[in-house]
């Protein structure tokens, strides 16, 4: 059936289409363009998951801006967070005195974004805001707001549009949701 993907014996169903993603990114960018008029923000993408979202978002941004990347690891190849966040690649840009926008693909437990906030705040930015394409409802254990959210979603496992399943399927154009869990696990 169209819109269904099988990986091992897990079944995923199309959940957010390419068109819905594109339209929502345009809306988010319009708000950011207004909020940052006359400023030069640095978009900091949290790798790997945010690279597609960041590249689509940035092309709808009309204010002058810069980008940099930060790489974290917390999941290994599992579907559930290990609860451990490690820094794999640090920033190259000068954060002090700058307007920072942290770009995430998804906020699940909130551990990664909280870790990122702590590290960036140590460098004394002028301001720091957060954008995430997806936010899992009711799950994040964070005591601050995600300023710009694409879609609030139920706490299901999702893939595609940058989000991986054991490092694969980041190249899917839409976002898919796990609807039936099989018994075979990725190694
Ligand atoms: P955290 O639990 O908020 O720390 O999420 C950590 C990272 O895990 C996110 O930035 C994603 O890269 C990844 N992640 C969280 N939930 C999912 C999911 O449903 N599918 C794929 N990756 C996810
Ligand atoms: Mg991520």
- CATH of residue 51's domain is 3.40.50.2020
pLDDT bracket for residue 79 (50, 70, 90): low
**Which 8-state DSSP code applies to residue 76?**
T
The answer to whether residue 126 is domain-embedded is yes
Q: For residue 161, what pLDDT is reported?
A: 98
Active-site annotation holder among 9, 10, 105, 108: 108
Tally of CA atoms within 13 A in the half-sphere of 82 that contains its CB:
10
Please determine, for residue 65, whether its predicted confidence score (pLDDT) is greater than 50: yes
The answer to whether residue 29 is domain-embedded is yes
For the chain, the domain total comes to 1
Atom of ligand 1 nearest to the CA of 156: 19
pLDDT bracket for residue 35 (50, 70, 90): very high
Mean pLDDT for 118-124 is 95
Residue 140 · residue 153 · CB < 8 Å: no
The answer to whether residue 6 is domain-embedded is no
Please determine, for residue 51, whether its predicted confidence score (pLDDT) is greater than 70: yes
Global pTM value: 0.92
The answer to whether residue 167 is domain-embedded is no
Please determine, for residue 115, whether its predicted confidence score (pLDDT) is greater than 60: yes
Q: Which long-range contacts (CB under 8 A, 24 or more apart) does 171-175 make?
A: 172/5, 173/18, 174/14, 174/15, 174/16, 174/17, 174/18, 174/21, 175/14, 175/15, 175/16, 175/21, 175/134
pLDDT bracket for residue 2 (50, 70, 90): low
**Ligand 2 centre distance from Cα of residue 136 (Å):** 13
72 or 16, which is more confident: 16
**Ligand 1 centre distance from Cα of residue 112 (Å):** 8
Give the C-alpha separation, 92 to 39, whole Å: 20
* Count of all residues that appear for the chain in the document: 187
Give the C-alpha separation, 31 to 41, whole Å: 14
The answer to whether residue 187 is domain-embedded is no
The answer to whether residue 4 is domain-embedded is no
Q: For residue 77, what pLDDT is reported?
A: 58
Mean pLDDT for 15-39 is 98
The answer to whether residue 2 is domain-embedded is no
Give the C-alpha separation, 29 to 118, whole Å: 25
Q: From atom 8 of ligand 1, which residue's Cα is the shortest distance away? A: 75
Whose CA is closest to 75, among 184, 165, 172?
165
Domain that holds residue 92: 18-150
pLDDT bracket for residue 159 (50, 70, 90): very high
Average pLDDT score over the chain: 91
Q: For residue 145, what pLDDT is reported?
A: 93
**Which 8-state DSSP code applies to residue 41?**
-
φ, ψ of residue 36 in degrees (nearest 5): -110, 20
Q: For residue 36, what pLDDT is reported?
A: 98
**Ligand 1 centre distance from Cα of residue 25 (Å):** 19
Q: What percent of the chain has pLDDT over 90?
A: 73
Please determine, for residue 184, whether its predicted confidence score (pLDDT) is greater than 60: no
């Amino acid at each position: 059936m169209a819109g269904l993907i099988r990986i091992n014996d897990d079944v995923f169903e199309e959940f957010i289409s390419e068109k819905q993603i594109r339209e929502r990114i345009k809306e988010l960018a319009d708000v950011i363009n207004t909020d940052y008029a006359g400023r030069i923000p640095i978009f900091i993408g949290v790798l790997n998951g945010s690279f597609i979202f960041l590249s689509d978002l940035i092309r709808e941004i009309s204010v002058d801006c810069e980008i940099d990347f930060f790489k974290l690891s917390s999941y290994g190849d599992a579907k559930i967070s290990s609860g451990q966040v490690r820094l794999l690649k640090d920033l190259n840009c000068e954060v002090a005195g700058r307007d920072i926008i942290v770009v995430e693909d998804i906020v699940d437990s909130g551990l990664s974004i909280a870790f990122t906030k702590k590290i960036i705040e140590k460098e004394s930015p002028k301001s720091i805001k957060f954008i995430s394409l997806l936010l899992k409802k009711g799950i994040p254990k964070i005591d601050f707001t995600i300023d710009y959210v694409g879609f609030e979603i139920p706490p299901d496992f999702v893939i595609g549009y940058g989000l991986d399943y054991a490092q694969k399927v980041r190249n899917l154009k839409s976002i898919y949701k796990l609807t039936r869990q099989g018994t075979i696990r990725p190694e």
